[in-house]
A and B are shown apart, each in its own frame.
Chain A
Amino acid sequence: MRKSLLVVSATLAAALTLAGCAPGSGNSADAPDDATIYIGSLYEPQNLSNTRGGGQGVTEAFNGNVYEGLYKLTDGGEVEALLAESEEVSEDGLTYTITLRDGVTFHSGKELTSADVKASVEAVTAEDSQSARKSAFSVISDIETPDESTVVFTLSQRSISFLYNLSYIWVVNADAEDLTQSEDGTGPYTLDEWKQGSTLTLVRWDDYWGEGARNAEVVFTYFTDATAENNALLTGEVDIITTVQSPDSLTQFDGNDDYVVSEGTSTTKELLAFNDRVAPFDDALVRKAVYSAVDTEKLLTSIWGDYGTLIGSMVPPTDPWYEDLTGVNPYDPDLSRDLLAQAGLADGFTFTLDTPSYDPHPVVAEFLQSQLAEVGITVEINTISADEWYTKIFQERDFAATLQEHVNDRDVVWYGNPDFYWGYDNADVQQWVADAEQAATTDEQTALLKQVNAQIAEDAASVWLYLYPQIVVASSDVSGYPVNGLNSQFFAYDIVKS
Chain B
Amino acid sequence: MLPYLLRRTAFLVVSLVVAMVAIFVLLRLLPGDPANALLSIDATPEQIAAARAQVGSDQPLPQQFAAWAGQLLQGDLGDSYISSRPVGAEIGLRFGVTLPLTLLSFGLALVLSLVIGITAAVKADRWYGVVLSGFSQLGVAVPVFWVGVILVWIFALQMGLLPSGGFPRDDWEDPADALRSLALPVITIAIVMSASLSRYVRSATLDVLGSDYLRTARAGGSGFTEALLRHGVRNGSVPVIAILGIELSTTLLGAVVVESVFTLSGLGSMLLTAIQQHDYANIQGVLIVSTLFVLFVGFAADIVQRLVDPRLRTSVSGNR
**B272 / chain A contacts, CB cutoff of 8 Å:** 224
The interface size bin for chain A is 35 or more
**Are A385 and B165 in contact (CB-based, < 8 A)?**
no
Q: Is A246 an interface residue (CB 8 A)?
A: no
* Interchain CB contact under 8 A, A390 and B33: yes
Residue A270 at the chain B interface, CB threshold 8 Å: no
**Least Cβ–Cβ distance between B80 and chain A, in angstroms:** 9
- Of B44, B51, B261, the contact of A134 (CB 8 Å cutoff): B44
Contacting pair A237 B165 (CB below 8 A): yes
Q: Contacts A130-B47, A235-B156, A394-B41: A228 and B262 contacting too (C-beta < 8 A)?
A: yes
Q: What residues of A have a CB within 8 angstroms of the CB of B94 in the complex?
A: 197
Partner of A232, one of B30, B263, B265, B266: B263
Contacts of B156 in A (CB 8 A): 231, 235
Contact of B31 among A53, A181, A193, A391 (CB under 8 A): A391
In the assembled complex, A180 has its CB within 8 A of some CB on chain B: yes
Q: Are A234 and B157 in contact (CB under 8 A)?
A: yes
Q: Does B42 contact A (CB under 8 A)?
A: yes
Q: Within the assembled complex, what's the spacing in Å between the Cα atoms of A223 and B43?
A: 28
Query: Is B38 interfacial (CB-CB < 8 Å)?
Result: yes
A388→B261 contact, CB < 8 A: no
Which has the most chain B C-beta neighbours within 10 Å: A44, A132, A224, A229? A224
Selected from B30, B37, B160, B269, the residue in CB contact (under 8 A) with A53 is B37
Contact with A along B250-284 (1 / 0, CB 8 A): 00000000001111011001101100111000000
With contact pairs A130-B51, A414-B42 given, residues A231 and B165 touching in the complex (Cβ less than 8 Å) = yes
Q: Which of B32-68 contact A (CB under 8 A)?
A: 32-34, 36-44, 46-48, 50-51
B269 and A235 contacting across the interface, CB-CB below 8 Å: no
A67-92 vs B: 1/0 string, CB under 8 Å?
A: 00000000000000000000000000
Instruction: Say whether, besides A181-B84, A224-B260, A387-B32, A235 and B157 are in contact (CB < 8 Å).
Output: yes
B302 at the interface (CB under 8 A from A): no
> Which chain B positions have C-beta within 8 A of A235?
156-157, 160, 163-164
- Cross-chain contact B41 with A384 (CB below 8 angstroms): no
For the complex, what is the distance from the CA of A388 to the CA of B37, rounded to whole Å?
11
Contact of A197 with B265 at beta-carbon distance under 8 Å, contacts A227-B149, A231-B157 already known: yes
**B49: shortest Cβ distance to chain A, in Å?**
11
Residue with the greatest number of chain B CB neighbours at <10 A, chosen from A128, A219, A235, A390: A390
Contact between B260 and A228 (Cβ–Cβ < 8 Å)? yes
Is residue B85 within 8 Å, beta carbon to beta carbon, of the partner chain? yes
**Does A195 have its Cβ within 8 Å of any Cβ on chain B?**
yes
* Interchain residue pairs with CB less than 8 A apart (26): A44-B273, A46-B82, A53-B39, A127-B50, A129-B47, A130-B39, A130-B40, A130-B51, A131-B40, A197-B266, A224-B263, A225-B261, A228-B261, A234-B157, A235-B157, A235-B160, A385-B30, A386-B36, A387-B30, A387-B36, A388-B32, A389-B32, A390-B32, A391-B32, A392-B31, A395-B48
